[in-house]
């Protein structure tokens, strides 16, 4: 298991857990990111900028701080 | 009848609204374009109704201020019918909001918008099946082309007459038991004042929504019973209660999606994904960003300059002719001269730059490039202690400071809104950009204008850094949906540009002409001199001619006034004959940064309070004076 900010570009991962309070979990849930969901990392921004992921057929930009709190497991 | 358009961000509510109201609500391919509600009177088959365009919201749980605004309207009891607009290509996620809307027990119709986009993505939706499952009418539409809208409003009227409320979707048995228990507790309790269905209230309390929990703050026993029920859910599912509910809602939506929709072919790797891989690239992305803005800059400069020059000459001749015909000292000459300068300022100076700028901005917005800019710039925003989402008010600020200040509502924390609102007013708006182009670029060359834009970014960055030392960033970081590119419906883009240009023609231009005549009269009566005398400490300090003093006062009304009054105050459109190049540069820098216009101050007052607005006035005045002095020093030493 690793955090989402460590997944490489074009890597796929399944969300295991989200470490955060009421606000973050709620926000991510509304964006379609829940434990169990499958994500594809499309882009990792330069200089530890945000990452761009695809989930359920749409794209979401996540800051590294947020991505670090999303625990995932790699999917082949 | 009051109709509310409700849906997730960027699903096309405002586009739909504009079809009903004519172009009145700002639209863009950008989540969170609408931050406050707009309403219009219309008539559907002879029934008068009020149609409200509400800010997009992902859910009815407490969120940012724009989302709370939407919820407040829905809970007010004044909405008779909801049109739930959804992006059909995001059906699964959109249904999560629909489930919560159904709990409100208000007649609802689903508008399955962007149905063409869904088909392109290979998603086939069985509209009748979906309608049966939800128990409410579902109408497929393409709002940007006006398709299906007549049927939508026909169904809306029917739903209202029948009071059609739809089927509340049931959760798993154990969760339903807990909800039922909470509902009866709330019904037995008389202190709950909200006029919303108890099932909705019970769910929101189980979800720990702070807004609704306040309702039962006083009631100790109700509070402890709620706690027990939440624990029951947590023990059975192993996650916090709010997550039990949201996961369940997610599962229900997915279930509905699977029943009503089929993915007939996997989405092809279309050109948009290819484009995005370049546009968001860690190196080429920034190169493209630079090229886009450089091209944009040149487009305005070339287009504007080509029109400004001949028109200015024309008005210059006209003014000379008037002087000879009417006599330089007559009142009639002063009146017509003031009037003519006002007209000339609008036609020859403002519009040549404003029109290409606004058309270009509308195009960038509608294509969907701006969210990519937010993605690319997030890392730099963090360097100055801000959040990637803050880029949105900044970008809007290049259009007009008023919507920029209002867009700070998409930020969750008040201290954030304060910083971003103040910084956004420093960004040159369309009016100030016009001044930069018409004065600095036109008289001193394009490099002078580029220098001012670059200086502006540096100042915003440094100010951000300083302000965020006092108000440290408490938010966790960026979470922003990046919508698909759209080929902008050209008609819509042009209508939007016209909507913004009209704002200048209808509101600003008459003020410009009036102001110009007034200044001319002040000059005739000799009053202008005393205003200039009062402001002379400032103008002397900056090394500007004293006669520009009044123009700075007029600039507080509308920024364009500073420019037009300048030619009026100096008595010529050939500015360089009476001002040195240094003075032109100092004047442009000062006007770019100093006190926001009245409309912006009013917006600041509303969004960040009286103190905040006062702060912004003093801060920008100090920044402008400091920078203008530095510019003067720099120009005198090096140029």
Q: Which chain B residues are Cβ-neighbours of A60 within 8 angstroms?
A: 479-482
pLDDT-derived band of residue B291, with 50, 70 and 90 as boundaries? very high
Q: Which of B83, B238, B82 is CA-nearest to residue B149?
A: B83
Enter the tokens of residue B163.
């009071």
Contact between chains at B482 and A32 (C-beta distance less than 8 A): no
Interface contact B277, partner A, CB < 8 A: yes
Contact between chains at A66 and B61 (C-beta distance less than 8 A): no
Whole-Å CA distances, B587 to B16, B394, B583 = 44, 23, 6
- Domain CATH for A17: 2.30.30.90
B272 inside domain = no
pLDDT-derived band of residue B211, with 50, 70 and 90 as boundaries? confident
Can you give the pLDDT at residue B473?
Answer: 61
Tell me the average pLDDT across B571-583. 85
Interface contact B58, partner A, CB < 8 A: yes
What mean pLDDT is reported for chain B?
A: 88
pLDDT-derived band of residue B81, with 50, 70 and 90 as boundaries? very high
- Integer Cα distance of B236 and B175 in angstroms: 10
Contact at 8 Å (CB) between B345 and A15? Answer: no
Contact between chains at B484 and A49 (C-beta distance less than 8 A): no
Among the candidates B108, B131, B162, a domain finishes at: B162
Distance from CA of B8 to the nearest CA of A (A): 10
- Integer Cα distance of B305 and B318 in angstroms: 20
Can you give the pLDDT at residue B191?
Answer: 64
Q: Which chain A residues are Cβ-neighbours of B280 within 8 angstroms?
A: 42-43, 45, 52
Interface test mutation site (partner B, options A43, A47, A55, max chain B beta carbons within 10 A): A43
- Give the model confidence (pLDDT) of B374-410 as tens digits: 899 888 888 887 877 788 788 888 888 988 898 888 7
pLDDT-derived band of residue B19, with 50, 70 and 90 as boundaries? confident
Contact between chains at A60 and B376 (C-beta distance less than 8 A): no
Interface contact B88, partner A, CB < 8 A: no
> Is the pLDDT at B637 greater than 80, yes or no?
yes
Contact between chains at B93 and A58 (C-beta distance less than 8 A): yes
Interface contact B480, partner A, CB < 8 A: yes
pLDDT-derived band of residue B323, with 50, 70 and 90 as boundaries? confident
B278 inside domain = no
Closest in A22, A29, A46 to B250, CB measured: A29
SS3 A44: strand
- DSSP secondary-structure letter at B595? S
> Is the pLDDT at B149 greater than 80, yes or no?
yes
> Is the pLDDT at B419 greater than 80, yes or no?
yes
Can you give the pLDDT at residue B227?
Answer: 92
ipTM: 0.93
Residues B516 and B418 occupy one common structural domain: yes
Interface test mutation site (partner B, options A16, A45, A60, max chain B beta carbons within 10 A): A45
Please state which of the ranges B400-409, B419-428, B610-619, B627-636 shows the lowest mean pLDDT: B400-409
Can you give the pLDDT at residue A12?
Answer: 94
Burial annotation B266-280 (CB, 10 A radius, 16+ → b, else e): eeeeeeeeeebbebb
- Domain CATH for B134: 3.40.50.300
Can you give the pLDDT at residue A2?
Answer: 92
Distance from CA of A21 to the nearest CA of B (A): 10
pLDDT-derived band of residue B268, with 50, 70 and 90 as boundaries? low
Residues B158 and B177 occupy one common structural domain: no
> Is the pLDDT at B604 greater than 90, yes or no?
yes
Greater confidence (B595 vs B62) lies with B595
- Integer Cα distance of B40 and B52 in angstroms: 7
Residues B298 and B257 occupy one common structural domain: no
Residue of A nearest to B253 (CA): A32
Residue of B nearest to A17 (CA): B239
Q: Which chain B residues are Cβ-neighbours of A23 within 8 angstroms?
A: 412, 476
- Integer Cα distance of A25 and A36 in angstroms: 14
Contact between chains at A58 and B90 (C-beta distance less than 8 A): yes
Contact between chains at A42 and B277 (C-beta distance less than 8 A): yes
Q: Which of B47, B49, B45, B72 is CA-nearest to residue B2?
A: B49
Interface contact B378, partner A, CB < 8 A: yes
| Matching residue, tokens 């006083």 | B218
Q: Which of B208, B255, B96, B171 is CA-nearest to residue A28?
A: B96
- Integer Cα distance of B438 and B354 in angstroms: 11
Residues B421 and B536 occupy one common structural domain: yes
Contact between chains at A45 and B378 (C-beta distance less than 8 A): yes
Contact between chains at B482 and A61 (C-beta distance less than 8 A): yes
Distance from CA of B252 to the nearest CA of A (A): 13
B481 inside domain = no
The partner residues of B138 in beta bridges, in order of sequence, read B110
- State how many domains chain A has: 1
pLDDT-derived band of residue B474, with 50, 70 and 90 as boundaries? low
Closest in A23, A46, A57 to B379, CB measured: A46
Contact between chains at A46 and B282 (C-beta distance less than 8 A): yes
Residues B139 and B179 occupy one common structural domain: no
| Matching residue, tokens 């009304």 | B557
B167 inside domain = no
Distance from CA of B417 to the nearest CA of A (A): 18
> Is the pLDDT at B527 greater than 90, yes or no?
no
Residues B295 and B438 occupy one common structural domain: yes
SS3 A14: strand
Can you give the pLDDT at residue B568?
Answer: 77
Residues in chain A: 76
Can you give the pLDDT at residue B267?
Answer: 65
Distance from CA of A59 to the nearest CA of B (A): 5
Residue of B nearest to A46 (CA): B282
Can you give the pLDDT at residue B164?
Answer: 82
- Domain CATH for B216: 1.10.287.1770
Burial annotation B393-417 (CB, 10 A radius, 16+ → b, else e): bbbbbbbbbbbbbbbbbbbbeebbb
Can you give the pLDDT at residue B150?
Answer: 92
Sign of CA dihedral B413, B418, B421, B426: negative
> Is the pLDDT at B610 greater than 80, yes or no?
yes
Among the candidates B138, B162, B186, a domain finishes at: B162
Can you give the pLDDT at residue B253?
Answer: 94
pLDDT-derived band of residue A69, with 50, 70 and 90 as boundaries? very high
Tell me the average pLDDT across B293-314. 87
Can you give the pLDDT at residue B190?
Answer: 65
B268 inside domain = no
B144 inside domain = yes
Greater confidence (B475 vs B563) lies with B563
Distance from CA of B491 to the nearest CA of A (A): 27
Closest in A26, A47, A50 to B478, CB measured: A50
Contact between chains at B379 and A45 (C-beta distance less than 8 A): yes
Tell me the average pLDDT across B121-141. 95
B64 inside domain = yes
Contact between chains at A61 and B371 (C-beta distance less than 8 A): yes
Domain that holds residue A64: 2-75
Tell me the average pLDDT across B328-339. 86
> Is the pLDDT at A6 greater than 80, yes or no?
yes
Closest in A27, A32, A48 to B379, CB measured: A48
- Give the model confidence (pLDDT) of B490-514 as tens digits: 888 888 888 888 888 887 888 888 8
B270 inside domain = no
Greater confidence (B624 vs B385) lies with B624
Interface contact B11, partner A, CB < 8 A: no
Residues B312 and B451 occupy one common structural domain: yes
Residues B245 and B325 occupy one common structural domain: no
Can you give the pLDDT at residue B427?
Answer: 94
Contact between chains at A22 and B281 (C-beta distance less than 8 A): no
- State how many domains chain B has: 3
Distance from CA of A66 to the nearest CA of B (A): 6
Closest in B89, B477, B481 to A65, CB measured: B477
**Maximum distance among all Cα pairs of chain B, rounded to whole angstroms:** 93
Among the candidates B114, B132, B162, a domain finishes at: B162
- Give the model confidence (pLDDT) of A16-51 as tens digits: 988 887 888 888 888 888 888 899 999 998 888 899
Q: Which residues 580-639 in chain B show a CB within 8 A of chain A?
A: none
Residues B155 and B202 occupy one common structural domain: no
Contacts 24+ apart (CB under 8 A), B616-620: B616/B421, B616/B422, B616/B425, B619/B422, B619/B463, B620/B422, B620/B425, B620/B426, B620/B593, B620/B594, B620/B595, B620/B596
Distance from CA of A75 to the nearest CA of B (A): 19
Domain that holds residue B500: 284-475+493-638
Q: Which residues are within 8 A (CB) of B131 and not within 5 positions of it... i.e. 6 or more apart?
A: B110, B137, B138
């Amino acid at each position: 298991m690793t955090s989402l900010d460590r997944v490489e570009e074009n890597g796929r991962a399944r969300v295991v857990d989200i470490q955060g309070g009421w606000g973050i979990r709620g926000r991510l849930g509304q964006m379609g990111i829940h434990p169990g969901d499958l994500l594809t990392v499309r882009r990792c921004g330069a200089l530890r900028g945000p990452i761009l992921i695809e989930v359920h057929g749409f794209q979401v930009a996540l800051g590294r701080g947020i991505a670090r709190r999303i625990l995932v497991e790699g999917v082949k | 009848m009051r109709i509310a358009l409700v849906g997730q961000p960027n699903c096309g509510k405002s586009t739909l609204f504009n079809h009903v109201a004519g172009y009145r609500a700002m639209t863009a391919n950008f989540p969170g374009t609408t931050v406050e509600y707009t309403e219009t009177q219309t008539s559907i088959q002879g029934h008068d109704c009020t149609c409200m365009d509400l800010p997009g919201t992902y859910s009815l749980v407490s969120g940012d201020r724009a989302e709370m605004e939407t919820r407040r309207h829905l809970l007010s009891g004044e909405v008779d019918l909801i049109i739930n607009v959804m992006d059909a290509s995001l059906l699964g996620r959109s249904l999560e909001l629909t489930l919560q809307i159904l709990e409100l027990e208000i007649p609802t119709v689903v508008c399955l918008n962007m149905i063409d986009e869904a088909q392109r993505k290979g998603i086939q939706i069985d509209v009748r099946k979906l309608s049966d499952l939800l128990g409410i009418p579902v109408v497929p539409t393409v709002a940007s082309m006006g398709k299906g809208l007549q049927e939508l409003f026909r169904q809306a009227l029917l739903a209202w007459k029948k009071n059609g409320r739809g089927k509340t979707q049931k959760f798993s048995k154990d969760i339903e038991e807990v909800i039922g228990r909470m509902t009866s507790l709330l019904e037995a309790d008389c202190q709950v004042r909200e006029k919303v269905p108890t099932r909705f209230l019970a769910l929101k309390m189980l979800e720990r929504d702070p807004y609704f929990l306040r309702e039962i703050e006083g009631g100790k026993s109700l509070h402890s019973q709620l706690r027990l029920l939440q624990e029951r859910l947590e023990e059975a599912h192993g996650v916090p209660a709010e997550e039990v509910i949201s996961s369940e809602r997610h599962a229900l939506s997915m279930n509905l999606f699977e029943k009503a929709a089929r993915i007939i072919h996997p989405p092809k790797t279309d050109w948009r994904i290819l484009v995005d891989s370049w546009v968001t690239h860690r190196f080429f992305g920034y190169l493209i960003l630079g090229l886009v803005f450089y091209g944009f800059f040149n487009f305005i400069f070339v287009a504007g300059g080509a029109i400004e020059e001949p028109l200015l000459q024309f008005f210059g001749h006209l003014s000379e002719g008037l002087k000879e015909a009417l006599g330089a000292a007559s009142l009639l000459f002063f009146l017509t001269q003031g009037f003519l300068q006002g007209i000339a300022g609008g036609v020859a100076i403002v519009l040549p730059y404003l029109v290409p700028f606004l058309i270009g901005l509308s195009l960038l917005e509608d294509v969907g490039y701006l969210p990519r800019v937010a993605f690319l710039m997030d890392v730099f925003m963090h360097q100055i202690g801000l959040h990637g989402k803050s880029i949105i008010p900044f970008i809007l600020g290049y259009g007009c400071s008023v919507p920029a200040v209002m867009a700070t509502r998409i930020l969750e924390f008040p201290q954030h809104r304060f910083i971003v609102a103040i910084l956004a007013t420093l960004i040159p708006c369309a009016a100030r950009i016009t001044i930069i182009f018409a004065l600095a670029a036109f008289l001193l060359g394009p490099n002078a204008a580029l220098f001012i834009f670059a200086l502006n970014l540096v100042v915003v960055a440094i100010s951000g850094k300083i302000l965020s030392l006092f108000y440290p960033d408490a938010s966790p970081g960026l979470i922003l949906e990046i919508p698909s590119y759209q080929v902008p419906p050209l008609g819509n883009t042009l209508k939007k540009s016209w909507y913004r240009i009209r704002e200048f023609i209808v509101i600003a231009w008459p003020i410009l002409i009036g102001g110009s005549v007034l200044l001319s009269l002040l000059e005739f009566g000799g009053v202008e001199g005393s205003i200039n005398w009062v402001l002379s400490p400032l103008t002397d300090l900056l090394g500007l001619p004293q006669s520009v003093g009044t123009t700075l006062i007029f600039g507080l009304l509308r920024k364009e006034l500073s420019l037009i009054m300048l030619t009026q105050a100096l008595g010529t459109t050939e500015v360089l004959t009476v001002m040195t190049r240094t003075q032109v540069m100092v004047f442009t820098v000062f006007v770019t940064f100093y006190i926001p216009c009245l409309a912006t101050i009013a917006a600041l007052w509303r969004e960040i309070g009286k103190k905040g607005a006062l702060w912004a006035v003093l801060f920008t005045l100090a920044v402008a004076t400091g920078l203008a002095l530095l510019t003067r020093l720099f120009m005198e030493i090096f140029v």
